[in-house]
Amino acid sequence: MINNRGRVFSGARPTGRQHLGNFLGAIKNYVALQEYYDCVYCVVDIHALTTMETTENLKANTMDMVLDWLAAGMDPQKSIVFIQSHVPEVMELHTYLSMVTPLGKLTDLPTFKEKVRENPHNINYGLVGYPVLMAADILLYKADFVPVGVDQAPHIEFTRECVRSFNYRYNSNVLIEPQMKVTEFPKIIGIDGTQKMGKSLDNHIEMASTPEETTKRVMMMVTDPQRQRRSDPGNPDVCNVFTFHKIFSSKEEVDQVNRECRSAEIGCVDCKKLLAKNLNNYLIPFREKRAEFAKDEQKIWDILEDGRIRAQKIAQNTIEEVRSAIGLP
């Protein structure tokens, strides 16, 4: 892992089995970045605690998410894959960064206001400090780049401000400003055809579903609302099924659906059956790999432990430099 390729850091909350929105919006990119950068991928379980009512499924959800990551092509030989809480240095850096972060700045952040709206009965201290912990994650591992969608740009800008404040306050250059690696993540709409795919809305399709479950979910997808009868011409441009065809079907099939939908030669049932077939075919290697990994959970914990050791080595170096910059005795 020691070279000059630059380091990428990204973290995700342990949300259990991943859906196609997670895959197309993040995991696929994680896998691709491994070819060009030294990547550090983290299950941010401490972040999850800020809004979690019970930790009952935390361990199982972590395992499920990591299984999906690995089966999708995340390679622990190339990347560091670990669990945030296993490297407690992040909490120490979080504390130091909190000393150079004005409280008003945190409570003014749109993400804080959004979280308050979502969790009106649990506005805890952790929610306020959430962006500081996120900055600590990035800075602890001295990430050069953070893959983000355009809407997450303010988080990285906040992190860069933390670096400037810290380095100015302690007259140091220990922390480095990360760059955004802006990626145009496709916005994946759920099977309801209107809202972003997400578990809480139950409009998702899990990557690890069986072929039968997957087909069932595809058959539930909302299509062009104007197309009432089989004989009505449809409009693929407003149909989410067609969007998925563009991702999972061949060019010939996409062209065919596009043409035959508009002329009412193909019905929505057949169109969805074709999509389900292609999606299931696409997921075959993923499912096989996942089943293989799932046979030996201890191996996954070993991978995460190896990731912990490698991540902690970087973290301890950073913390040493940070303590020295602050002048702690």
Would you tell me which residues interact with ligand SF4 (CB under 6 A)? 223-224, 227, 234, 236, 239, 241-242, 257, 261, 266, 268, 271-272
Q: CB of residue 204 vs ligand SF4: minimum separation in angstroms?
A: 18
The C-alpha atoms of residue 95 and residue 85 are separated, in whole angstroms, by: 15
Closer to ligand SF4 by Cβ: residue 178 or 236: 236
CB of 221 to ligand SF4, least distance (A): 7
Q: Is the Cβ–Cβ distance between 269 and 258 less than 8 Å?
A: no
- Copy the structure tokens of residue 322: 């940070």
To ligand SF4, the closest distance from the beta carbon of 203 in angstroms equals 16
180: left (phi over 0), alpha (psi -120 to 50) or beta: beta
Burial class (CB in 10 A: 0-12, 13-18, 19+), 226: exposed
Our CB check for ligand SF4 shows the closer of 101 and 249 to be: 249
What phi and psi values does residue 171 have, to the nearest 5 degrees? 50, 55
The answer to whether residues 141 and 9 touch, using CB atoms and an 8 Å cutoff, is: yes
Nearest residue (CB) to ligand SF4, 67 versus 266: 266
Q: In this complex, which beta carbon is closest to ligand SF4, that of residue 260 or of residue 306?
A: 260
- Determine the longest span between alpha carbons in the chain, in angstroms: 79
Q: Where are the beta strands (DSSP E) in the chain?
A: 7-12, 38-43, 80-83, 145-148, 179-182
Query: What is the smallest separation between the CB atom of 217 and ligand SF4, expressed in angstroms?
Result: 14
Whose Cβ is closer to ligand SF4: residue 140's or residue 274's? 274
Minimum Å distance from CB 272 to ligand SF4?
6
Strands 80-83 and 38-43 turn out to be: parallel
CB of 188 to ligand SF4, least distance (A): 16
Within a 10 A sphere around the Cβ of 81, how many other Cβ atoms?
25
Of the pair 107, 194, the CB lying nearest ligand SF4 is at 194
